[in-house]
Amino acid sequence: MPKQAHTEAATHHETAAKAHRTAAEHHEKGEHAAATEHSTKAHAASEHAHKASSTAHGKSAAAKK
């Protein structure tokens, strides 16, 4: 079960990273509305990643006991 939780967290981290990169590309092109939209998506994905990581770490700790 901890492996599945870590995999879910990793997926959210990857989604956040992709959205951050896309936002940066739009900012570089001066497309600030699109950049803001992708930044918002990145922030949401980061929050999901953080929650999933916390859950995964809790499950890992519980499995070690």
| pLDDT for position 65 | 63
Q: Is the pLDDT of residue 63 over 80?
A: no
Question: What tens digit of pLDDT does each residue of 31-55 get?
Answer: 999 999 999 999 999 999 999 899 8
Distance CA(62)–CA(45), nearest Å, equals 25
CB 26 within 8 A of CB 18: no
Write down the pLDDT at residue 1: 56
Which pLDDT tens digit goes with each residue over 2-28?
Answer: 688 889 889 999 999 999 999 999 999
Distance CA 19, CA 27 (A): 12
Question: CB within 8 A of 6, min separation 6: which ones?
Answer: 56, 60
Query: What number of CA atoms fall less than 13 Å from residue 34's CA on the CB side?
Result: 11
**CB 40: neighbour CB atoms within 10 A?**
12
The pLDDT assigned to 41 comes to 95
pLDDT at 59: 75
